[in-house]
Amino acid sequence: MKIAVLGAGAWGTALALTFVRAHPVTLWVWDPAEAAALRRDRENRRFLSGHPFPAALGVEAEIGAAVRDADLALIATPVLGFRGTLRSLREAGCAVPVIWACKGLEAGTGKLLHQVVAEELGDIACAALSGPSFAEEVARGLPTAVTLASRDLDFARHWVSVLNSPRLRLYANDDVIGVEVGAAVKNILAIAAGISDGLGFGLNARAALLTRGLAEIARLGLALGGRQHTFMGLAGMGDVVLTCTGDLSRNRRVGLALAKGQPLDAILQDLGQTAEGVNTARAVASLAERIGVDMPITHAVNGILFEGLPADRAVEQLLARDPKVE
């Protein structure tokens, strides 16, 4: 199977390095200068240094060339570039199945990514790849398990069999909504966990935050049509635990910096990569308010990020909420 990986950030590069061990892979990057650097260096020094490209991994800056003769297009761009990448695929006349490894809601519309796919490409065979996975560890070949979710379970099972490897284990799932909601909201929770840790609130507070945050994921997911068991799996609890506690988490690092009082613009500039939880916080808070889902942690993070709410004040507001039955 020939695979086109669209997006040469850390995650796209890690997936390309993983799948090229068994399949021909072309890595697409929109910037010709960056593509030239990847070809020259045979390494992604900007986003995933220290992992040389094997000879079988090709690099293209023209999307039509990247997907030519491909059996699968795997999109790993930031969510901000997701719709544009889909449109480029359509304009290139690409009709291959699409899997996306992006995590978040579309800014502005608040739409889940499968809805964006349907708007841009129609009723095509597609799936969402998600779960607890840091790019650095996947690139190193460390054991990782993720979920591949499609409304067509046979489609998911087929690509699980194709892409599964001894160090990257895939599980098929047909709850696309549940998987996408878990993928989006866990990044918001990671910002909250970073704030809590940065303020020195301790491990008890972090455990409470993760547990109540998982309840927020479930409430939103169920309201949108997801299934409860999904939130207890890899794309729910698994990704929450990893992203909220792991030092490689970009979103957690944003929270740690916010706790120190650093301005958001400076934090994101220093980070140098996308922290999806930032834009997703605004989109999820708006969606939750619109459909009447209670998500206090999400609203607190959104207030800190975009409404000038001090981090310590946000925590006070959460702790001052009326007691409830769990």
SS3 49: coil
Reference 44, options 20, 67, 27; nearest CA is 27
Q: Which of 111, 186, 260, 324 is catalytic?
A: 186
The full length of the chain comes to 326
- The whole-angstrom separation of Cα 234 and Cα 222 is 17
CA distance 301 to 83: 26
Tokens of 10: 């850390």
Instruction: Find the farthest-apart pair of alpha carbons in the chain and give their distance in angstroms, rounded.
Output: 60
Among residues 84, 66, 65, 89, the alpha carbon closest in space to that of 4 is found at 66
Distance of CA 89 to the CA centre of its chain: 20
DSSP string, 214-242: HHHHHHHHHHHT--GGGGGSIIIIIHHHH
- For residue 117, the tally of other CB atoms under 10 A from its CB is 23
Q: Considering Cα of 303, then 180, then 206, then 322, what sign does the dihedral take? A: positive
Known catalytic residue: 186?
A: yes
Task: Collect all residues with Cβ–Cβ distance below 8 Å to 67 and sequence separation of at least 6.
Answer: 4, 6, 26, 28, 73, 89, 92, 94, 96
Catalytic residues: 186
